[in-house]
Amino acid sequence: MNGRPCSKVTCHADAVATLTYDYADSMAVVGPLALASEPHGYDLCERHAERLSAPQGWQVVRHVVLGNDF
């Protein structure tokens, strides 16, 4: 375990990605797990990172590091 669980309330899986929001551009950004826990970021497990959707009119941007599957 990397010490940081998924931010979803009932999920206890290890976090592998960090989600942040850019409200000005109506964008949800999912990228590799941040080095440190951020107050405005949400750590997600692989399952939740893959299944993330955004509200209508928003776009999801996924920054993928080669070798990662989400």
Residues pairing with 42 in the sheet: 19
pLDDT, one tens digit per residue, over 13-34 is 999 999 999 999 999 999 999 9
68 class by beta-carbon count within 10 Å (0-12 exposed, 13-18 middle, 19+ buried)? middle
Task: Specify the DSSP element, H or E, that contains 46.
Answer: helix 46-51
How remote is the C-alpha of 49 from its chain's centroid?
Answer: 5
Q: Give me the pLDDT at residue 1, please.
A: 47
Global confidence as pTM: 0.84
